[in-house]
Amino acid sequence: MSVEEEGMSLREWLWLKHDDDNNKIERLRMYTQVVELVDFAHSQGNPLPDLRLSNFLLLPSNQIIYFPSSSSSSSTRHYSSSSYHVTPELEKRWYAPCPHQEEEDDLFSANVYSLGILLFEILCCPFVSVEMHSAAISDLHNRILPPTFISHHPHEAGLCLWLLHPHPSSRPTTREILKSQLLSGTEDLYPQSTYSVIVDKSKDVEFEILLDFLVSLKEQKEKHALELHQYIQMLETDMNRFQHNNVSNMLQTRMKKYISQLETAYFSKRSQLQLSEAVSNERNDLDLLRNRERCPVQEKHVGYSDDFLNGICKFLRYSKFEVAGMSEMDNILNSANVICSLSFDRDENYIAAAGISKKIKIFEFATLLRDYVDVKYPVVELLNKSKLSCVCWNKYLKNCLASADYDGVIQVWDACTGQGLSHYTEHQRRAWCVDFSHVDPTQFASGSDDCSVKLWSLNNKTSTCTIRSGANVCCVQFSSCSSHMLAFGSADYKIRCYDLRHTRIPWCTLADHQKAVSYVKFSDSDSLVSASTDSTLKLWDLKKTSLEGTSTDACCMTYRGHRNEKNFVGLSVLDGYIACGSESNEVFAYHKSFPMPITSYKFGCSDSISGDESNGQFVSSVCWREKSNMIVAANSGGSVKVLKLV
C-alpha cells in the first residue's frame, strides 16, 4: 500500500474539517508538526524545495510527513468535500516568496515565508470560492490580513506577519518559530526585543493603525473622565481586541490631523451597530439589488470594528496625488474647449475624451503616461454635428461607443473605424448622459432636459421604454450588480431608482441635496454615490429606502471639501474611493467611510488644497482606471492629467 493510499494531504484534511469551528488547537498541532519537519531539514542544511500545504501528508497515525508532488499525485486530486479545486500551479503561485530575497539564505528564508502562508491557510481554510481564496492570498503577500482574522487570531496574526516580513533577514528561523508562545506555550508571544522590531517595521499592519487611533482618542477623553466615562469604557473594551500600539510617525501625524472627524465616524459606527441590533427596517424586496449572475462578491463585515478598521486603513493608506502622465493638448483639443466626459474601453487600453469641440478623441492610454512622447495624438477622431455632453464605452463590445449631445441625439459609434453606426433622435431637448448596461451589452439608457429617461437597444431603431421625470434629467447609470436596477439624478434635487420590470413608479426616491443632482454612481450593490451643485457628494444606503415617499434617512454620509456650484465637474468611484472635480481647478479624492478629502491635486501646480481660481478654469471630468488604480482627469482648458494615489 502506497503512502498516498494510507494518508491524505493537509489540504484534503482541512476540507474534511471545514464544518468544525472549534478545532483551532488541532490545526495548530498540525502546523507545529510541519514546522518541526522543516526545522529538522534546516538543521541538516537542507531547505525544502517545494514547501506548500498539499505536499504534507497526514498518516492514519496522525504523523505528518513531507511528500512533494513530484513523488505523488495527491495534490492533483479532486476532493469530494470541496466546492472548488486548487491546482498545483495555482498553489505554487500562492506559496512563491516575495521577490526581494537575499541570495546567501534564499531557500531557507523562502521556506519561512511559505510557512507564513501555510499558517494562514491552516487557520482560514476553506474559503467560499477559489476566487476569494486567491484574493486573500494576494492580500497576504502585501501583508494585509482580513479584519476577522486579526480579531479572531490576534497572536497568530502577529506571527504570520513576522514570517512574511519583506526583508528575509528580519524573519525568524524555524527554531525561533518553535519557541514562540503559539507553538511552545511560553508566556510571551515573542521576546520583548524581537516583538518591538516586528511592530516598528510593520507599517502597513491594519490593526496597529486602528489601535493607535483608539489610544489617541482615549487620551483625549480621559481629560473629561466624569462626562465621558461611557465613551472611555467603549474604547477600553475595543482596545483589548488588539495587541500592538506602534505606527509610523507619518501615520500618527495624519491621524492627529483628522482626529476629530475620525472620532465622529468611530462613534457613529458604534451607534449604528447598536441600532441595527435593536431594530431592522429593511424592505423585503432587496433581492433586486443583487440579482445578477456572477455579481462581484462584497466583503462582509461582522461588526463595527471590522468595518471601521477597513475604512480607516484605506483612508490613511494614501496621502497625495502623484502625476503619472499629462497632456497639455492645446494643438489637439482647443484650450478654450471643455472636456465634458472621459470613458475607458472594455480592456482599459484606450480612453475616449469628448466635449464641446464636437469631437470624440480616442487615445491609447499608454501614450498619456510620463515616459511617452510629449505631443499626444489620438488614434481615432470621431466628428459629431453638435457639442458633446457625454461618452460611454460598451462594457462588452470592445469597439462600441455611445455619445449624447446638445441636440438631444444619442449616437452609437464604431470606435475602430470612426464611423457612426446608428443615431436616435427621440429626445426633444439636450441629452446630458448615456450609459451602457453592465449586464445586457445591447441595452443602454439616456437622460435629457426633456425630463425623460429613455432605454434603447442596439437591435431596435426606436426606444424600448420611456420613464418620465418631473424635472430635467442630468445623469443616469445602470447598476453593475443587478439586471434591472437603474438610477438617475434630476434638476429637482432628487435621485430616483427604478426596477426596469416595473417602471410605473420609482423603486425609491432619494432626497437630501439642496441643488441639482449632476452625477450618480453605484458604489456597490447596496450603495449609491451622488454629486450635486450644492458642493457636496452623498452616499446612500439603498437598504434603508422605502417604496413610498422620499427616503431622506437613506443618506449615510455627506462629503465636503471640493467646490461645485454650477458646472459638471465629474464623478468616479472605485473600491470605496471616490474622485470628483472642483471649480477650484482641482481633483479631490475621498474614501466612502469619511466625510473629508484624502487629498487633492490642483491643475497647473503640484500643491494640494489650494484656493487659487486658476483663471476660472475647473476640472470637468474624472475617470478611474481599475487596472492600475490611476485616475484620468480633464479640465475646462483642455488639459488632461493621469494621477495616481500614493
- What are the φ and ψ backbone dihedral angles of 27, each rounded to 5 degrees? -65, -40
> What pLDDT score was predicted for residue 209?
56
Residue pair 33/64 in contact by the 8 Å Cβ criterion: yes
> What pLDDT score was predicted for residue 563?
96
Residue with cell 451597530: 273
State pLDDT tens for residues 426-475. Answer: 999 999 999 999 999 999 999 999 999 999 999 999 999 999 998 999 99
Span 572-589, mean pLDDT? 96
Q: Which residue has the higher pLDDT, 623 or 267?
A: 623
Q: Which residue has the higher pLDDT, 277 or 593?
A: 593
State pLDDT tens for residues 329-338. Answer: 544 444 457 8
State pLDDT tens for residues 181-232. Answer: 778 763 333 333 333 333 343 444 456 556 666 666 666 665 565 555 666 6
> What pLDDT score was predicted for residue 202?
41
CA–CA distance, 214 with 474 (Å, rounded to integer): 42
> What pLDDT score was predicted for residue 476?
98
> What pLDDT score was predicted for residue 309?
72
Percent share of the chain, pLDDT over 90: 47
**pLDDT above 60 (res 158):** yes
- What are the φ and ψ backbone dihedral angles of 620, each rounded to 5 degrees? -110, -15
Span 576-583, mean pLDDT? 96
> What pLDDT score was predicted for residue 76?
41
22: alpha, beta or left? (left if phi > 0; alpha if psi -120 to 50): alpha
Lay out the sheet containing 339-344: strands in order across: 339-344, 350-355, 359-364, 380-383
The dihedral through the CA atoms of 591, 596, 598, 602 has a sign that is positive
Residue pair 541/600 in contact by the 8 Å Cβ criterion: no
> What pLDDT score was predicted for residue 72?
40
State pLDDT tens for residues 365-397. Answer: 998 887 665 667 889 999 999 999 999 999 999
pTM exceeding the 0.85 threshold for the entire prediction: no
Span 303-318, mean pLDDT? 74
Span 41-49, mean pLDDT? 91
**pLDDT above 60 (res 625):** yes
Tally the residues of the chain: 646
